[in-house]
Structure 1
């Protein structure tokens, strides 16, 4: 015979209502009573039927997590497992599960988000990216769906809860570091131009050049669109200019790894011939030869705070939007040297 709440209540010498409140982690139940009830649950082997409870409360107790690409591509990037680890810690604390988007194209992602929200599969959404003219963000905002964003929203940042680094400031710091080492011919190998993080870092790059009195050279900027399918040739073209760059700032560590590989094919050594800096501080970066200078963007904290923000909105429809800036730190390693 299945163990019931009444059985737990009898063993713990409390009412069934008290047991229900303990299961819901009600703040008015004393820690002593919670310990007693949970001990009784453990002794009896009682497991609450959360699905039934959620149906009554009209809650799914799940958060939808939407990546910029399909999960197959996303998990090739160490950023995503780490940001999910941060989300999971916050979600677990609030007894929420995660529902990962598995779509591959922009349209499929949009349709899946509509389905998961309209079908009440999730109580809120976390977007792990921010891009210009994003249909998903527009839909969530227009339909009052609780959501948060990892990254500065392209529109109405005052109306959206988001967590981000100060990407303009940290890119300025990176370029300023290279300038302090004597570099003036500095390239920027960025991501897709419609992603806000890319445009913010490019903006910081340009501001740092301007403050250092260095003229901006458009040919030193290589975007993902320029490289698409021709990455090796794009780097070759960059390094075969009349005045090739002596330093390169890359969008993230993965791009830095690729660039270093292409440079090796061209017999260009890092850092002897060109210095290079990445972003994200992946574990592998400290083990490269030479170790990669990079920016630690506190990926775990980005995920944890994003989950906290969406849970605030789920638990309180009137909770005002909040913006959190997570610190980022330049880590100097062997991939940069003074001219």
Structure 2
């Protein structure tokens, strides 16, 4: 059904139908109440549904916010690390009276281009333009696509701090630097004077934020700072030799950038006949990719993921309405959650 069909059934012009279904403040068309009722009756009788894309092309506003993730599977499982972000986004969008458009396909399936993962520009065109603006999240964003979005002045906000050389990006991020400083202070308060750091081999922005917090925390607490106690390697590359060296040099606590690094460190300790936290305390500066009850034994930080999703919606709406100058860049505080894996060092 089209507006022409509705107009014919109601005995009015298509301009009148448009004025009733898409009223504009400055419209010169005045529609009597009884005529408007005939239009609504015809809509109900015919089952007419507006074409949102066509309406947006005419009016310039879709009231649609897009959500795009570079993750290989869209986060529909409640145990997925990224699922709370989506909950927060949905809550923020609903409160604002917008609809949500999820971009869930991978690449250009018509060309069989699925191996490379999700793409914003699968065929050279920005498919996010179906929406007024978009929220992007995921572990491995394509920086070249972010650069194109900035060049096009397409409004978007990333969840997580992202940087490109060609401009600045609006983002909502967790305050990992402050959270890491808090973790260092917590360890120092329990008596740990020598604290090592175990992180990703190829650090991204969020990992560098944690590292900055590590050094700042050591300095604030007056603790020993040694660059060879900061190890950047894949979890599987942590071996007994490295762990034994750290312990021989008096390290009593390790902070890890990921749950995988923490579990790898504990496995190496077990191989040496040692345990956490009796022989070495471990604090985790992240959450696991899957919410597992057994992980709650770890001293860790809680990331405000739902709040970050809501805040991303608010930031995007501010950009769309011109209430904020681009870029919008905010960090939200994390919460330290002490547990059994960080205890006072053995004397």
- Deviation of 1:141 after TM superposition, in Å, equals 1.8
For 1:200 and 1:321, the matched residues in 2 are separated by 19
For residues 46-85 of structure 1, give each alpha carbon's deviation from its aligned partner in whole angstroms, at most 9, with x where no partner exists: 6444344344445663514133x53389989832222122
- Quick check: 2:89–2:313 contact (8 Å CA) kept in 1? yes
Distance change >3 Å, CA 194–CA 109, structure 1 → 2: farther
**1:97-136 equivalence runs, <5 A:** 97-100=101-104, 102=106, 112=121, 115=124, 117=126, 120-128=129-137, 134-136=143-145
What corresponds to 1:305 in structure 2? 311
Q: Could you say what the CA RMSD is over the residues aligned between the two structures, in angstroms?
A: 4.4
Which residue of the partner structure matches residue 82 of structure 1? 84
Partner residue, 1:263: 269
Cα distance, 1:56–1:284 mapped onto 2, change above 3 Å: closer
Give unpaired runs (5+ residues) of structure 1: 23-35
- Give 2:198's aligned residue: 189
**Displacement of 1:97 after TM fit?**
1.0
Change (3 A) 1:317 1:113: farther
Match 1:236 to one of 235, 240, 253: 240
Aligned-residue offset at 1:278: 1.7
Give the TM-score normalised by the residue count of structure 2.
0.71
- What is the Cα deviation at residue 290 of structure 1? 7.0
Segment drifting more, 143-152 vs 309-318: 309-318
1:83·1:300 contact (CA, 8 Å) conserved in 2? yes
Compared CA separation, residues 234 and 119, structure 1 to 2 (3 A): closer
The count of corresponding residues between Structure 1 and Structure 2 is 316
Q: Structure 1: how far apart are the matches of 2:243 and 2:165?
A: 40
Matches within 5 A, 1:276-315: 276-281=282-287, 287-288=293-294, 291-315=297-321
8 Å contact kept, 2:159–2:171: yes
| Larger proportion of helix | 1
For 1:310 and 1:289, locate their aligned partners in 2 and report how far apart those are by CA, in whole Å.
34
Structure 2's unaligned 5+ residue stretches are 24-36, 108-112
